[in-house]
Amino acid sequence: MASNERPLSEVKFLTVAEVATAMRVSKMTVYRLVHGGELPAIRVGRSFRVPEQAVHDYLRDSFVETA
């Protein structure tokens, strides 16, 4: 286990709807990010769960600075 990884019992998972609300995008946009491999997720039955830290990492890495 890498030093920045937390035990699975401490990971908070979000639904696609919760991710969409947090990012202020549509659920379809979240599905596109998941299916495109840009946002990691696990499949639980027919739905997806996204680790909360993955959402924070995605937003941090996607930040664009303007001139």
Overall domain count for the chain:
1
* Residue 26: φ, ψ to 5°: -80, 160
Q: Is residue 2 part of a domain?
A: no
Q: Is residue 27 part of a domain?
A: yes
List the structure tokens of 54. 């993955």
- Asked whether 13 and 47 are in contact (CB, 8 A), the reply is no
Confirm whether pTM is higher than 0.85: no
Residue 26, domain extent: 15-62
The 10s digit of each residue's pLDDT in 33-63 is 999 999 999 999 999 999 999 999 999 998 8
Strands (E), the chain: 13-15, 42-44, 47-51
Q: Is residue 6 part of a domain?
A: no
Q: Is residue 5 part of a domain?
A: no
| Cβ atoms < 10 Å from Cβ of 50 | 23
Residue 18 to residue 47: CA distance in whole angstroms: 13
Q: Is residue 51 part of a domain?
A: yes
Q: Is residue 10 part of a domain?
A: no
The 10s digit of each residue's pLDDT in 23-36 is 999 999 999 999 99
- At 37 the pLDDT is 96
Number of residues that this document lists for the chain: 67
pLDDT band at 64 (very low <50, low <70, confident <90, very high): confident
- At 10 the pLDDT is 86
Q: Is residue 48 part of a domain?
A: yes
